[in-house]
């Protein structure tokens, strides 16, 4: 799964990683330890993230099947 372009340039402190697991993959977006809580809402194929008072929106990859947020980390799974 390819990282959406809008996530590549979110912030210098944000770490974006991809993981491949045989027949599936995941994208993990770590907003850092200073962001205690993030929320995610999916509307159609658009993900809306609110982290530390800032809002980010991006189009989900077509193969994304699950989007979740926990402990300052956004996870997009295939």
**Reported pTM:** 0.82
More confident residue, 56 or 68: 68
Task: Indicate if the pLDDT at residue 15 is higher than 90.
Answer: no
* Full domain range(s) for residue 58: 5-77
> How does the average pLDDT of the chain come out, rounded?
85
Stated as kind and residue range, the H or E segment containing 74 is: strand 73-77
As for how many domains the chain has, the answer is: 1
CATH of the domain at 60: 2.60.40
Q: What is the DSSP string of 11-65?
A: -TT-EEEEEEETTEEEEEEE--TT---EEEEEETTEEEEEETTEEEEEEPPTT--
């Amino acid at each position: 799964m390819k990282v959406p372009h809008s996530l590549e340039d979110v912030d210098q402190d944000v770490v974006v990683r991809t993981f491949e697991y045989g027949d599936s993959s995941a994208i993990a977006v770590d907003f850092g330890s200073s962001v205690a809580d993030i929320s995610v809402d999916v509307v159609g194929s658009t993900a809306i993230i609110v982290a530390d008072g800032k809002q980010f929106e991006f189009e989900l990859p077509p193969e994304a099947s699950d989007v979740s947020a926990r402990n300052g980390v956004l996870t997009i799974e295939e």
